[in-house]
Structure formats: C-alpha cells, structure tokens
C-alpha cells in the first residue's frame, strides 16, 4: 500500500475527501446516487487503515471506486524528516503540496505520545517572544493538512499508533484559521475518523475573544490560553492581540467557556526575565485569575537565534510558582522539551534545522 504522495492526480479542481467531515462526504456520496453508509467506509479507510488512494479500499466495489476517483482525490503530506531530541522529544518536518513546510512535535509520555500540531504556515499574531511569530506568515492550513500530521505519523512510524493526546499549539494561531481547525477537530474526533476523544484534545489560543465564544458552542475540546502577562500594559507589549481584546474581555470569555465538571482551563505563562516574572507579577496573576477553574503552565522562555529575551533564574521561576501555589492554584513549571532541536514552545519555524539525529 502506498502511503505517501498524491496518487489521485494533481488536478486542483477535484475536491479532496480529506478536507471533508463525515457529513460532507455523506452529502458528496449521496449526490453521486450512492448509499450514505459508504461515507463511513471511506473515512475508515483513510483514517483507520491509512489508505492514500481509492485503489486501497478493497471492500468497496470497483465501480464505485472508479467513480469516486474520477470526481475526488485523497491528498497526503510528505514526511521530510523526523529528528529526535536528547530528551526523547521528536520533531517532524512535513512538506505541503505547494512546497511550504510545517512542523509537528511528538512529546513522549509513559505509554503514549502527545502530538502538537500546527494550523498555519507561520503566524500573523506577531507576539514579541515567539519565533513562529517572527517568521513570514504564508497561509492557513487546510483541514487535511492539520489532520494529516496525525494520520501520516500514525501509519508511517512505529510509535505513531500510540499518539493518544493532541495539542493544537504548534505553528500558527488556530482560532485565526477557525473553520479549517474546527473541521479538523470534527475529523479527529469522529468514530470513523481518527477516533480521538474531545477530552484528549487541547486547543491553545493567544486570545481571540469572539472565536473563543464560538469554539465553546461548536466543540468541546479543552482550552488553553496563552496569557503571558498579569496586566494590560505588559500584555500589550508582548502580544499585539491584547490591544484588540484586552484582559478584561479575555477573562470574561474564559469564565463563560463551557466545560464539563472536573475539566479545567489551562493558562500558559511564558516567564521572561525582567518583563513578567517578578513576585509582584505572580501576585497580580493570582488576583486576575480568581474564580476561574484553571491550572497554570509556567514555561521558562525558550531561546532561539537572535531572541531578545531570556528565561529568569531557576530560583526565580520556582519562587514565582510558589506564590501561585500559596494562592491555591495548580502551577507547573514546563521545562522546555526538545530545545536542542528547536522543538520547544515558540521555536517552530518550518525550516527544519540541521542539528539532532535524523531518523524516523
């Protein structure tokens, strides 16, 4: 079975079944005068057997397959390389059909992997501390390009079948590419799709308030918000989006985000020396989040070529965390994983740096 490349022809006018949800494939198939249940069969072939062409779908009649391939295509991303960091984190570089590159990061757990997927080539949000934000924005990813980061690894690497958690926090701002990201979530969670439950998916946003509200209505994934500052002045300096949606509006949207009992919001807070990491900042942060069911991920600033900031000293990072704990928050220091291969938060660029072991 061939798993890479676009064998269904490169005619761009053919719709790609991997850009469609189950409902949309059902509609497409009904329009061809065929039974709806075949949509599920096709989905299972693509996402649960790794089929990259209609020829692979052997329990579907030849006639129907021929009919489908005349009218639709199935795309695949190309895995260019996978690097492994000293701490076991892996970074996959993918080539898109138009020649652009994106990266995903695999984070090892005890018996499973967490995959961090990208939603855009670059990012338009321009956060001051983020490498992705400093690279040129090229375009949004299609639903197929978001889900294929999972599908391709699942069927082409020995550990891919153990990807159990998905974090949508790679390159790009997912809520800026709302429709395609939502479609990807529908495909990831579908029983006949990648069959990963909502509970195991976390979407991270810089805080696009109206889209947070929409997401709460459209899906029930976990929400992570990149906060990074306890007050508007500091946040305006670090994250231009704050000028449009200041902290008051953001916190209000977080309070209203619908969450089943026992689930909590996550706030990410990149600690930057001399900018947002003083004990006074920690106290303000504790006040800002009062009343929110949440946990805090403290991420010491990860450096990259020509970065203007530094992480605070370890003792200062721990003191910051301790203030939050004293105020009854769950706060965890997330040591930068995969830093030696530029796979840590905020270091993704789609350029595929040269260091690190190159192996699938």
Which residues of this protein are in contact with ligand SAH, per CB under 6 A?
A: 129-130, 169, 173, 204-206, 226, 228, 268, 270, 299, 301-302, 345-346
- The yes or no reply on residue 133 touching ligand SF4 (CB under 6 A) is yes
Question: In the annotation, is 130 catalytic?
Answer: no
Return the bridge partners of 82, or none. Answer: 92
CA angle 350, 354, 355 (to 5 degrees): 115
At 7, list the tokens. Answer: 């064998």
Give the footprint of ligand SF4 on residues 223-262 (CB under 6 A): 226
Q: For residues 72 and 206, which CB has a smaller minimum distance to ligand SAH in the complex?
A: 206
* Candidate residues 105, 121, 123, 203; the one interacting with ligand SF4 per rule CB under 6 A: 123
> DSSP secondary-structure letter at 16?
B
268 binds, among ligand SAH, ligand SF4, none (CB under 5 to 8 A by kind): ligand SAH
- 165 closest CA partner among 201, 212, 133, 120: 201
Contacts with ligand SF4: how many residues (CB under 6 A)? 12
At 99, list the tokens. Answer: 């020649």
At 23, list the tokens. Answer: 């409902």
301 binds, among ligand SAH, ligand SF4, none (CB under 5 to 8 A by kind): ligand SAH
Catalytic residue among 26, 103, 268, 303: 103
Q: For residues 17 and 241, which CB has a smaller minimum distance to ligand SF4 in the complex?
A: 241
- The yes or no reply on residue 220 touching ligand SF4 (CB under 6 A) is no
Contacts from 332-337 at CB under 8 Å and sequence distance 24+?
332/295, 332/296, 332/297, 332/298, 333/298, 333/300, 334/297, 334/298, 334/299, 334/300, 335/300, 336/299, 336/300, 336/302, 337/85, 337/87, 337/89, 337/107
Catalytic residue among 123, 127, 294, 345: 345
Question: In the annotation, is 103 catalytic?
Answer: yes
Catalytic positions: 103, 345
Binding site for ligand SF4 (CB under 6 A): 123, 125-127, 130, 132-133, 172-173, 206, 226, 346
């Amino acid at each position: 079975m061939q798993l890479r490349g676009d064998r269904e022809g490169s005619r761009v006018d053919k719709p790609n079944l991997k850009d469609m949800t189950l409902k949309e494939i059902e509609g497409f198939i009904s329009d061809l005068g065929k039974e709806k249940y075949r949509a599920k069969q096709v989905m299972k072939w693509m996402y649960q057997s790794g089929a990259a062409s209609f020829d692979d779908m052997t329990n579907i009649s030849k006639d129907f397959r021929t009919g489908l391939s005349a009218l639709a295509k199935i795309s695949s991303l190309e895995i260019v390389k996978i690097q492994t960091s000293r701490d076991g984190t892996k970074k996959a570089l993918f080539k898109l059909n138009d020649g652009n590159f994106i990266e995903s990061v695999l984070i090892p757990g005890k018996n499973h992997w967490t995959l961090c997927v990208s939603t855009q080539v670059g990012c338009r949000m321009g956060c001051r501390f983020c490498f992705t934000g400093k690279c040129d924005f090229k375009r949004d990813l299609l639903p197929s390009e978001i889900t294929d980061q999972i599908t391709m690894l699942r069927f082409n690497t020995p550990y891919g079948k153990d990807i159990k958690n998905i974090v949508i926090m790679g390159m790009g701002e997912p809520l800026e590419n709302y429709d395609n990201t939502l479609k990807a979530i529908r495909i990831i969670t579908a029983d006949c799709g990648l069959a990963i439950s909502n509970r195991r998916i976390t979407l991270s946003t810089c805080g696009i308030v109206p889209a947070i509200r929409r997401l709460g209505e459209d899906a029930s994934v976990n929400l992570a918000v990149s906060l990074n500052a306890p007050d508007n002045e500091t946040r305006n300096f670090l994250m231009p989006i704050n000028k449009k949606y200041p902290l008051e509006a953001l916190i209000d949207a977080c309070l209203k985000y619908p969450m089943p009992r026992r689930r909590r919001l996550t706030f990410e807070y990149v600690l930057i020396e001399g900018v947002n990491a003083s004990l006074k900042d920690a106290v303000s942060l504790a006040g800002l989040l009062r009343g929110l069911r949440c946990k805090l991920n403290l991420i010491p600033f990860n450096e990259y070529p020509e970065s203007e900031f530094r992480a605070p000293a370890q003792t200062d990072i721990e003191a910051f965390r301790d203030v939050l704990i004293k105020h009854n928050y769950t706060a965890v220091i997330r040591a930068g994983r995969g830093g030696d291969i530029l796979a840590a938060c905020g270091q993704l660029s789609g350029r595929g740096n040269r260091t690190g072991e190159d192996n699938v």
